[in-house]
Amino acid sequence: MSNSNKSLFWYGVQANILKGMGVLLLLFSIIIIIYGLYGGGMYILVGSIVLTTAIVFIAKGSSQRFDYKMRSGALIHKGDW
């Protein structure tokens, strides 16, 4: 395995980690917002900030995943799954 393939592999792993962190933050933000609806208004603001961060992480991870598939050639052979 050449050095560029190893670098490309870790690029794909980083994309999956970002996407996974985004999903976890999304779930966490939903819990915070629900708690804020029943508890207090400040939690809604914090939940909204975490929700925005989660959406950015998911978008960034999806973008990197697509770029990884383009660089590796998997998009040409298998499509984007």
How many Å from the N-terminal Cα to the C-terminal Cα in the chain? Answer: 25
- CB proximity list for 79: less than 8 A, separation 6 or greater: none
Eight-state DSSP code of residue 39: S
57-75 pLDDT, tens digit per residue, is: 999 988 888 887 777 776 6
* H/E element, 52: helix 41-72
**In the block, which residue shows the tokens 């978008």?**
59
| Per-residue confidence band for 7, with pLDDT thresholds at 50, 70 and 90 | confident
- Quick check: 11 pLDDT over 90? no
For residues 28 and 62, which has the higher predicted lDDT (pLDDT)?
Answer: 28
Average pLDDT, the chain: 83
* The dihedral formed by the CA atoms of 18, 23, 27 and 33, expressed in degrees to the nearest 10: 70
**In the block, which residue shows the tokens 């383009």?**
70
